[in-house]
Structure 1
């Protein structure tokens, strides 16, 4: 028996041998097996979008002007007023900039509210009676009868939630799938390229604080540059143009902050309007609640309390948890051309649940697929991935070893004998 097993193991292809070696390796973390497009740092402690490099430009646009302001304009103010005002002005600008960078990190480096994706589509009987079965033209991922939308009651108003084909789930209300990060995000507002992250339920507050603080910083720098120009005009009794020639850095910073404040200030004003009406950017541009009832609008005061003063929910993903590889992933890869289709997966990879044994229904599917694969041994119908009898024999040997591993060697041998008897007696 031992020699037989060794001979079958030697027949395994190189790809399947690598799969078996990977199965024996230490389990990976969730962030290492993440299906989205996110980029992780510090062992999964920080999660960014795929455009995280844009953060470098954002940080430079904030830090470089402040450094120039503290190094050039502040000493001129100290010299003009002959006191410590220059030191205080520089200190405040540096401390406030550090505070803004912390807000930027909290906005871009944390889970914005990602909904863990399912490992298999929901069963039709679990959807509920409120689903519109007539809206679904066909099955999705092998589950027939799933509707495109499902009705949910929100504050007494009927709201339709959509089925996400990628995450294989019905999105919660106000949830949308970000095509850049490839995740479903709760209370999705938008994907901001300047922070390199989606803006959602868990980081929207920090995003608003970031843009509003950046607005205040622009006004602060602009104001003291204007004060510096005015002091030069009084000291040297010159015109505004000559004062600019004496301190061109102040003029450049005034122009820069004047342009920037229209951007970050306008963004702050727009989001204050969204909060007052309890909308998201996505809803405002797509649904236009001003034309119909907004089920989430609870009044001006309650809207601000909900967005700015409510408790931020914990992340639904533990990125540093061990990701237990599902048996179906092994079977799917072992199939090499879908000789074996993966059984129904009852394990959510992102939730890190324990691996379960192969159920009776999965074993029945495996039995039927082994029977169909014996036809491939005759090379009557070969999958497009293989050409010639060599590919068929390799598949058959792999399936035989796989079947023996799960105690199916006897039935496999009987099927094999039956197929050979059929070939001998056409």
Structure 2
């Protein structure tokens, strides 16, 4: 029996660590907690559907036909930015290979030296200089790497994300270096869409109230009341979130850095990434290059499946002896009346067979004596008579 290793080609996204969900053969990458994301889709699509059903037909006739057209364009842009933010790689950094992790550990131990018993080892950090300012790179014990500047480990997705801003459950993904621009455009366009729908809801109710009264207008368009309530409570949070990120973009700062007070603490460390100009900061974030993903999640790798046992074509062997293999079937050890004469074993053949069986049965301490055929006894009698 021998073991055969079977290798097959698999996509790298199937073996990536972390807590992400992949769809469409690795093209779609999201977090595992997607319940709030579905709620976001339901609120946006549901509110716009009510607006197109109740307000747009009336406003297109009595006010302007461009109102539903602009609403459709704005809705499609909001959905495009939402899906682009939710389905893309936010900038996940690959974890160190076992060989790389061992080498980094050796470097750290060599740099720290022997730590006396009872004392904590020094923190694992490295210092780099950015714009004439020292920035500390922290070591990630999960990914086994020194995180690049502005990177952080997301506890929900269990990955280090480059230029980590925050984990947003409303979009079902982390917001980082590769999708922050689309996240900001999503919040900005959603704010405009919410204001647009809320405004024309009020216009619609007012125009109908002039003709039939306020109560009759609400009875004729029951969906308008629901739209006004959803837009009213959504407006403050979405517009406030857009204003907060506009402030961060003007300073070239992330939400994570703002919460931790990285550049506004007691030491008053200046932000080394800011250009000291609002226009330059906004241009870098909103108009800068699109960074490629470093995961290569659709790349191909070899995977070894579990070994399968196959019967070898070579003769089986024991520690003491080897049984010779023949191509013809052997004759029975004890011939009978139905055995043909040419198939009966001779003395030499019987001796070889009995010797082989004796050697193979030494472990059980049973010995089989050599067998002789009836022809052997006849030949011995004839030889004895001739001698006398």
Check whether TM > 0.5.
Answer: yes
Task: Give 3-state SS (helix, strand or coil) of 2:184's partner.
Answer: helix
Pairing partner for 1:302 from 280, 285, 305: 280
Residues 36 and 90 from structure 1, CA distance in 2 versus in 1: closer, same or farther, beyond 3 angstroms?
same
1:108: how far off? Answer: 0.9
Residues 161 and 310 from structure 1, CA distance in 2 versus in 1: closer, same or farther, beyond 3 angstroms?
same
Please say which of residues 212-221 and 314-323 is displaced more in the overlay: 314-323
Q: What residue ranges of structure 1 are gaps of 5+ in the alignment?
A: 1-5, 10-16, 139-144, 331-426
Which residue in the other structure is 2:170 paired with?
A: 194
Which residue in the other structure is 2:345 paired with?
A: none
* 1:38–1:48 contact (8 Å) kept in structure 2: yes
- Is 1:111 matched with 2:85? no
Residues 242 and 295 from structure 1, CA distance in 2 versus in 1: closer, same or farther, beyond 3 angstroms?
same
Which residue in the other structure is 1:164 paired with?
A: 140
For residues 261 and 133 of structure 1, the distance between their equivalents in structure 2, rounded to whole angstroms, comes to: 53
Counterparts of 1:222-241 in structure 2 under 5 Å?
222-236=198-212, 238=213, 240=214
| Structure whose alpha-carbon radius of gyration is higher | 2
* 1:185–1:200 contact (8 Å) kept in structure 2: yes
TM-score (norm 2): 0.70
1:159: how far off? Answer: 1.1
Pairing partner for 2:78 from 100, 104, 112: 100
Task: Give 3-state SS (helix, strand or coil) of 1:27's partner.
Answer: strand
Pairing partner for 2:187 from 211, 223, 234: 211
- Is 1:61 matched with 2:37? no
- TM-superposition CA deviations, 1:182-241 (whole Å, max 9, x none): 1110000001001111100000000000011000000110111111112123223x4x55
Which residue in the other structure is 1:392 paired with?
A: none
- TM-superposition CA deviations, 1:341-361 (whole Å, max 9, x none): xxxxxxxxxxxxxxxxxxxxx
Which residue in the other structure is 2:325 paired with?
A: none
Pairing partner for 1:133 from 109, 112, 123: 112
* 1:222–1:257 contact (8 Å) kept in structure 2: yes
Which residue in the other structure is 1:385 paired with?
A: none
Which residue in the other structure is 2:103 paired with?
A: 123
* 2:8–2:302 contact (8 Å) kept in structure 1: no
- TM-superposition CA deviations, 1:5-46 (whole Å, max 9, x none): x3xx4xxxxxxx7xx6xx513132101111111111111111
For residues 160 and 175 of structure 1, the distance between their equivalents in structure 2, rounded to whole angstroms, comes to: 11
1:67: how far off? Answer: 0.6
* 2:129–2:135 contact (8 Å) kept in structure 1: yes
1:161: how far off? Answer: 1.1
TM-score (norm 1): 0.64
Pairing partner for 2:244 from 255, 270, 273: 270
Structure with higher helix content? 1
Please say which of residues 281-290 and 161-170 is displaced more in the overlay: 281-290
Which residue in the other structure is 1:317 paired with?
A: 295
Counterparts of 1:377-388 in structure 2 under 5 Å?
none
Pairing partner for 1:180 from 152, 156, 166: 156
For residues 172 and 317 of structure 1, the distance between their equivalents in structure 2, rounded to whole angstroms, comes to: 15
Residues 44 and 301 from structure 1, CA distance in 2 versus in 1: closer, same or farther, beyond 3 angstroms?
same
Which residue in the other structure is 1:416 paired with?
A: none
Structure with higher strand content? 2
Residues 315 and 25 from structure 1, CA distance in 2 versus in 1: closer, same or farther, beyond 3 angstroms?
same
Pairing partner for 1:257 from 231, 253, 256: 231
1:247: how far off? Answer: 3.4
- Is 1:32 matched with 2:17? no
For residues 122 and 287 of structure 1, the distance between their equivalents in structure 2, rounded to whole angstroms, comes to: 34
For residues 136 and 107 of structure 1, the distance between their equivalents in structure 2, rounded to whole angstroms, comes to: 46
1:125: how far off? Answer: 9.0
1:94: how far off? Answer: 2.6
For residues 33 and 114 of structure 2, the distance between their equivalents in structure 1, rounded to whole angstroms, comes to: 36
Residues 117 and 75 from structure 1, CA distance in 2 versus in 1: closer, same or farther, beyond 3 angstroms?
same
**Higher relative contact order by CA 8 Å / sep ≥ 6: 1 or 2?**
2
Residues 132 and 260 from structure 1, CA distance in 2 versus in 1: closer, same or farther, beyond 3 angstroms?
farther
- TM-superposition CA deviations, 1:154-185 (whole Å, max 9, x none): 11111111111111100000000111111110
For residues 7 and 125 of structure 2, the distance between their equivalents in structure 1, rounded to whole angstroms, comes to: 41
Query: Matched residue pairs, number?
Result: 297
